[in-house]
Amino acid sequence: MAGAIPSNRPIRWVSFDLDGTLLDTVDDLHAACAGMLADLGRPVLSVADIRRGVGRGMKVLVDRCLVGEGRTPADVLGQGIERFQHHYRRENGLNARFFGGVLEGLEAFRGMGLPLAVVTNKPIEFSDALLERTALHPYFARVLGGDSLPERKPSPAQILDVT
């Protein structure tokens, strides 16, 4: 089987992404985006719009909400990021939902004695807060956010740092 781990190599870590893998956080992101947009006098976007904009980090999400990826003036983007972070500090984790089987899977890995890590592009401040608010933090021996190292995903630096 291509890509299979050789049986003579022990598994040292099991790493997970956070948003969209362990937790559905789109409602929290939507609430923070809605607050940001209202603060800036912009129309609020739908949850579906926010879901389509998620996937490449906070800066890209804010940019997509304001004008469109890569087209938001730097000063407006800076204001948007500041307002988004303000609202997200309150909203982060309040409406997050576990994907099916997540808790059972984490328990199974813990039962096998495997150390677990979160590797995400979400800034560490928000990653730690989300894991605390959802009671997931105790499962993880390591948490690396998008600002934990000089490079973030898709660079392999975070995964290599964990192993």
Cβ atoms of 85 and 28 within 8 Å: the answer is: no
Question: In the prediction, which pLDDT does 29 show?
Answer: 97
pTM: 0.86
28 catalytic residue (yes or no): no
The tokens for 10 are 């022990």
Number of Cβ atoms within 10 Å of the Cβ of 150: 7
* Bridge pairing between strands 116-119 and 23-24: unpaired
Please choose, from the candidates 162, 161, 163, 158, the residue with its C-alpha nearest in 3D space to the C-alpha of residue 120.
158
Question: In the prediction, which pLDDT does 39 show?
Answer: 97
The tokens for 24 are 């559905």
Question: In the prediction, which pLDDT does 5 show?
Answer: 53
Question: In the prediction, which pLDDT does 1 show?
Answer: 42
When computed from its CA atoms, the radius of gyration of the chain, rounded to whole angstroms, is 17
Question: In the prediction, which pLDDT does 4 show?
Answer: 57
Question: In the prediction, which pLDDT does 6 show?
Answer: 58
What stretches in the chain show pLDDT beneath 70? Answer: 1-9, 69
CA-angle at 161, arms to 6 and 107, nearest 5°: 65
